[in-house]
Structure 1
Amino acid sequence: MTWESLKILAVVPARGGSQGIPRKNLSHVGGLSLIGHAAKVATALPWIDHAIISTDDAEMLEEGKRYGLEAPFVRPSELAQDLTSAAETWRHAWFTCEDYYHCRFDLSIWLQPTTPLRTPEEVEQTVRALVEGKHHAAATVSRVPGHFTPQKILTLNKEGVLQYFDQAGANHTARQTIPSYYYRNGLCYAVTRSTLLEKGSIIEEDCVGVIIDRPLVNIDDPIELAFANLLHQSTLNPILT
């Protein structure tokens, strides 16, 4: 099935290695693996033509298939290293899937398992922002808390004396006067074919931000995994409401 007459590929990236949590993508939040969470959202969206897992790991490949993801290839080991970029992995998945499915995808979405508390509606909102706004890419973002903005971050000089990172910070005694800043939360990326495959970029040019105005967690260490489980049980989690 197509959405807006577009061929759309969903990619769930899940390499076997990880630093903070061994085999992180098989970790559970709310009784479901991180891969399972991403797969359930991807397979719930009828306008996605193919939802696939990109992994170098046999167990993770089977976990993806268990929850409805297609597995048209095994990711090469050279694209599953600590320093491998997301763009490289995404490009490989895109080209390989076009060969495998004998079609040309107009755009693709990237659903990191490490942000498990997404909803199908938020993913659709991201794609809609790209398509209807005629942008090259879209990425979900969250607001940076006021005390983490450049105006409030401090540095230490050689004498151990605190200084403002941004000297203008001294003028912002009330957080309401601080400009809004945003960080990528990993919930969803969407990109057009030409932007990723021909230019090799995602957010470098004309990437619209989709603000997710609720608590999220992007899991990288055991504390964040514990927080994700706590948040999953919370009334703040739209999955449960």
Structure 2
Amino acid sequence: MKYIALIPARGGSKGIPDKNIRLVNGQPLITWSIKQAKACPAISRVLVSTDSEKIAEIARAAGAEVPALRPAALAEDCTSTEAVMLHVQQHWLTGAEDEVIVLLQPTSPLRLPDSLANAITCFEQQGADSLVSVCESHAFFWKHPLQPEAQYDFMHRPRRQDIKPQDKQYRENGSIYLTKSAILQQFKNRLGGKIAMFCMQEQESWEIDSLTDLTIVSTLMQESGL
């Protein structure tokens, strides 16, 4: 298989201005995903899709390819990641059957050194067509605030250590996705066919969407020695 990392990073961000190039633990946010991808022996190329020349300049300096800026029509608030993936596939990739896109969202910069390689190993061992990264979730969910309804049996509230393996729940953490080129074309989605699930540690599962997240992730990265 030929693994190609794709890091989508548009310039606009309402929550945190210039989020993708804000300093996180001393480096621009996007740089972390680029460095992790380049450090993974199985990944042959690292591509960044962006509409921002500033982001493109930082990405190239970190060793990523930015063949061209993304069209403005693919950098709007409502633009889906899949639309960006399909654009990259059409213009920068070959679409060959052995091609696998490794989607790394820059807002999840904390990946431990072996996580990418282990995700690829998981993908191959399971003979998967796509892969999603997750982390264990021990949250108790409710819905309908005006008519509260528990999504668990609150009369028999389970202790974390008593939850059986088959009853554990996992949260999609947004960090790593693998998609065969043919699957992306067929389903127009990052997930399809036989889906593998790769479990990551809780500390790796923070997504930066607010200034609070940025502070927390920076601290976790420092504590992890990254």
TM-score using structure 1 length? 0.84
For residue 55 of structure 1, report the CA deviation from its aligned partner: 0.1
Unmatched runs of 5 consecutive residues or more in structure 1? 1-5
In the TM superposition, residue 115 of structure 1 has moved relative to its aligned partner by 0.7
Distance in 1 separating the partners of 2:98 and 2:85: 13
1:75–1:164 CA distance, 2 compared to 1 (3 A): same
Give, in angstroms, the shift of residue 228 of structure 1: 0.8
2:97–2:180 Cα contact (<8 Å) kept: no
The answer as to whether partners of 1:7 and 1:49 remain within 8 angstroms in 2 is: yes
Query: 1:149·1:181 contact (CA, 8 Å) conserved in 2?
Result: no
Identity across the alignment (%):
26
87, 110, 119: which one pairs with 2:112? 119
Partner of residue 168 from structure 1, selected from 142, 153, 160: 153
Work out whether residues 110 and 203 of structure 2, in 8 Å CA contact, stay in contact via their aligned partners in 1. Answer: no
Question: How far is the alpha carbon of 1:17 from its aligned partner?
Answer: 0.7
> Partners in 2 of 1:177 and 1:9 — Cα distance?
38
Corresponding position of 2:173: 185
CA distance in 1, matches of 2:88, 2:184: 11
Bigger Rg over Cα: 1
The number of residues matched between the two structures is 222
Hey, what does 1:49 align to over in structure 2?
44
The answer as to whether partners of 1:138 and 1:210 remain within 8 angstroms in 2 is yes
Runs of 4+ in 1 over 4 A off after TM superposition: 102-105
Q: CA RMSD in A?
A: 2.2
Correspondences of 1:1-241 after superposition (within 5 Å): 6-98=1-93, 106-144=99-137, 146=138, 148-150=139-141, 153=142, 155-157=144-146, 163-166=148-151, 168-175=153-160, 176-177=162-163, 179-216=167-204, 217-234=206-223, 237=224, 239-240=225-226
> Which ranges of structure 2 fall in alignment gaps of 5 or more residues?
none
How many angstroms does 1:132 deviate by?
2.1
Per the alignment, in what secondary structure is the counterpart of residue 39 of structure 1?
A: helix
How far apart in 1 are the matches of 2:159 and 2:97?
51
